Each structure stands twice: as C-alpha cells, then as structure tokens.
Amino acid sequence: MLQPADQSVASPHGAVPVTPATAGSPPPSSGAGGGAARAALTTACAGLLVGLDTGLIAEALGFIGRDFHASARAQEWVVSVLMVGALLGSGGAGVFSSRFGRRLALGTATLLIGLGALLCATAGLIGQILLGRFLIGTAIGICTFTAPLYISELTTGRMRGTMVTTFSMLQSAGILLGYLAGGILSGGGHWRLMVGLPVIPAALLFMGCAFLPSSPSWLAAKGRFGEARKVLRSLRGDEATADRELDNIRRELGAGKPAGGFALLRTKPFFRRSVALGIGLQIMQQLTGINVVMYYAPKILEGAHFGTSAAAWATVMVGAVNAVVGVLAIFMVSRWGRRPLLVTSCVIMAVALAAAGVIEGMHLQGPGAVLALMAALLVFVAGFGMGAGPLVWTLCSEIQPIEGRDFGVACSTLANWGMDWAVSNTFLSIVSVAGAGWTFAGFSVMNVVFVLFTLALVPETRDVPLDVIEQHLEAGRPLREIGR
C-alpha cells in the first residue's frame, strides 16, 4: 500500500511546501543525485497517462459517435467532460496532497484512471462513457497539479527544468502511443480496446508510486528532520549538499508561520502578480489551439478529404512530430532559456495556423492542398512541442513563492483545464458557424498575442535558484526581471 508519508504544513487553503530546490547554495553540476533523477522520472511518467488518453479519445471519438448515434454536440461533451473532472481534480489536489502526501495523490490518480478506462470500455450507454471520462479527468487534474510540483521539490539546478520538461515530453509520447494504438485498432473499429488501454500503464505507475521517496521539505515541515536528512542524502548523493539544503529549509521554516493561500493573496501584492502570471501563461497555452488539433485531428483531416483510415494514420504523424520535438525540448530548455524558446515557439505556431487558415478559408482542393494542410498542422505541433508545451508547466512551478506555491500552482492548473474545456467544448460548434479557415486564423492571432505577453511579462529562469526568484519577486521587480 502507498503510505501518506510526505506531509506538509496544512492551512485552510492547502499545503505550504518548503522546497529543497530553494537552497541558496549552488547545487552540484549534475543538479541532483541519481536517487532524485529516478524519483523524478517515475513521477514524470504520470505525463504518459495524461497524453495517452488524449491520443486514444481522438481516434475513438468517431467510432463512439457512430455506435451511440451521438451528435456533434454530444461528441464535444465526450471530449470535454474530461476537463470538468480535471478542474475538480486539480482544485482538490492541493488539499489532498497536503494531507496525504504526493505519493498517495499520484497513486489515487492511477486508480481513478484505471477505473475510468474500464467504465468506458464496458459502456452500454454514452452516459457511462461520460462518467468514465469524468473520473479519468479527475485523475489527470491531480497528476498535472502534483507531478510538476513534486518534481521541482525533488530536484535542483538544471535537473529541475529537464525533469519538468520530461513530464511534458512523456505527455507527447503518450499522445503518440494513443494515436498508434488507435491507428492499429481503427481498421476493425475496436474503440473499446482503445479506451481500455490506459489500465495497463496506470497499474504499472501505481506500483512505481510505492517506491517514491517522501518529500524532504515536507518531512522537515512536520518536524521530522532526521527523516528529511536521510531522504535528502539519498536524493543528492552527497552528505554536505544534503545538510546544506536542510539548513536552508530550517531557516525558511523559522522565518514565521506560513499564511494560507487566500490570506497571502489578500496581503501580498507580489503574490498576486505571480499568481496572475501563472494563470495568464496557462490561458495563453490553451489559446494556442493545441488541444483543438490533438483532440480533433482526425475530424479536421477527414474534413480535408482524407479517408477515415488515412486520417487516422496522418494523425499518428502529428503525434510522432509532437513526441520527437518533445524529446528535443528537454535538451533545448537548459541551453536556450525559457523566453527565447517560448517566443520562437509562438511565432512558428502563428505562421503555421495562418497558413492552415488560408488553405481552409479558400477551400483549396487537390492533393497539393491536402499535403499543405498536413504540413501546416505538423509545423504547428512542432512549434508547440519545442516551447509553449513544456515551458508553461516549468515556469508555473518556478515563479511561485514558497508560502503560496501549492495555491499558486493550483490556480494556474485550474486555469489550464478551464480554458481547455472552453476550447474543446466549443470547437466543432465554432467551425460549423465561422468555418475552419476563420477558426484557424483566430488561433493564429492568439499566438501573436502570446508573443507580446511573453516579451512583456515572462522572466528568464534558466539556472536561477527558486529562492532567488522569490527574493526578486518580493523586492517588487517587474515580472520579466525576477529571474535576473
């Protein structure tokens, strides 16, 4: 059984973690010991489950609609009810993980994913599919809140950005696996096998959660300093580094009683700014249009005169590009920095969607137009995978101060799922009214807005300790300068 060993100082509004990554002393060049890397990688595997559902439902949606005679509006709900569950899951994840620990939160999420997948696979009514996807959404909300935050607690230095980016990369890999499975099974219309597949990786991750360490900062917050030192030494592989981090944690704990998230929001202007930036980043990420392509790629391609089978395998190409670029992003994020990658990413997406808008808006026909649309979508996905996908989650785990980190990350995660729901729940309806061309053009404009947002507000946090970011934030520096 998973034990709720990693606890935090609880407040009425969630946990207040004290993060080892905030140590003021320079970390070793590797960023963390092998123990931290293994634990962070296990946690990052939650991204695989998050992505797998996206790929599978995209391929299964048409078959579900056919077998249950579902309208376009009902199909929108099959997709978007997951986001309703994710909203609730991410909103309650802070309280749950503060009381029972990160490991148990992740373990519970894997159980919910397995149960939801079984409900979908055995559904006799579309209502059972909606219930199953709601449970999966709740679990995904827990994962997207817990995993990046827990990884940032376990790791330091360059390892922090790399491992949070790995979480995003594994989401991309999960999407690709879902598309591949859907492409293989679509020939026989085996949608029940598609939606039931997450049971297997969910069971494996559940077992992996049993081996995760307790958060050393949370152990210290509960006064269990001996256990915190033991875990830190295991994670860092160096006693001096571990003891130095524990000393920093002690000082931070002695700075005063932490305030609750809402109390901090009311009394600290710097916290309001960091929360607003996190929310803004997540809203802009969804307005890039990425989940429109990921959820509805087969439908978009069928509308461009791809056959059902051809659309399924073309969608696999979308997932492959997303996964390959996700791997490259792991290496780029620690070399190029956050801001340059994010700006480049948004420019690429804006150009690609503008091209797709022209092709769809002018109703171009023929093999050349079909290939051009496919190329535009692939370039768009590549642009997202290199920057806007991984970096938003990384930044949201870095910019919040210790006292309100759980609350701040919860707010940004809620914003992500809320906007994801709004986009995915209305896309087919918008296309039916405005047309695909104008819809793509609108998302292109939003990517231009994201470029301006990044240039004006987003800081460069590469290789900057979390405590330094917090000090600059509290000192009232402009948001784009808190990483300097």
Which tokens is 99 given?
């009381």
Closest Cα to residue 282, out of 419, 158, 466, 448? 419
Which tokens is 325 given?
């670029």
pLDDT in tens, 175-225: 888 888 887 887 778 899 999 999 999 999 999 988 888 777 777 777 888
Closest Cα to residue 150, out of 406, 414, 470, 389? 406
Closest Cα to residue 208, out of 50, 43, 4? 43
In angstroms, rounded to a whole number, what is the distance separating the alpha carbons of residues 445 and 326? 24
Percent of the chain surpassing pLDDT 90 = 31
In angstroms, rounded to a whole number, what is the distance separating the alpha carbons of residues 479 and 459? 6
pLDDT in tens, 365-379: 877 888 898 899 999
Non-local CB neighbours of 250 within 8 Å, separated by 6+ positions: 220, 225
* Predicted pLDDT at 484: 75
In angstroms, rounded to a whole number, what is the distance separating the alpha carbons of residues 275 and 413? 11
In angstroms, rounded to a whole number, what is the distance separating the alpha carbons of residues 155 and 163? 8
Q: How far is CA 386 from CA 344, 348, 396, 435, 469, in A?
A: 9, 10, 17, 28, 24
Which tokens is 353 given?
């969607």
Q: What's the whole-model pTM score? A: 0.72
58 touches 427 (CB < 8 A): no
362 touches 437 (CB < 8 A): yes
Which tokens is 418 given?
């809320």
Rounded to 10 deg, the angle between the 72-100 and 427-434 helix axes is 150
In angstroms, rounded to a whole number, what is the distance separating the alpha carbons of residues 344 and 388? 9
What are the CB-based long-range contacts (under 8 Å, 24+) for 368-371?
369/304, 370/304, 370/305, 370/306
The DSSP secondary-structure symbol of 27 reads P
pLDDT in tens, 242-285: 888 888 778 766 655 555 677 888 888 999 999 999 999 999 99
Backbone angles phi, psi at 482, to 5 degrees: -75, -10
15 touches 98 (CB < 8 A): yes
pLDDT in tens, 85-108: 998 998 888 788 877 878 889 999
Rounded to 10 deg, the angle between the 389-398 and 308-332 helix axes is 40
What are the start-end ranges of the E strands in 20-101?
none
pLDDT in tens, 127-142: 999 999 999 999 999 9
Closest Cα to residue 462, out of 387, 396, 394, 380? 394
Given a cut of 70, is residue 323 above it in pLDDT?
Answer: yes
Neighbours of 169 (CB within 10 A): 27
Which tokens is 201 given?
């990786």
DSSP string covering 227-295:
HHHHHHHHHHS-HHHHHHHHHHHHHHHTT-PPPPHHHHHHH-HHHHHHHHHHHHHHHHHHHTTHHHHHH
144 touches 118 (CB < 8 A): no
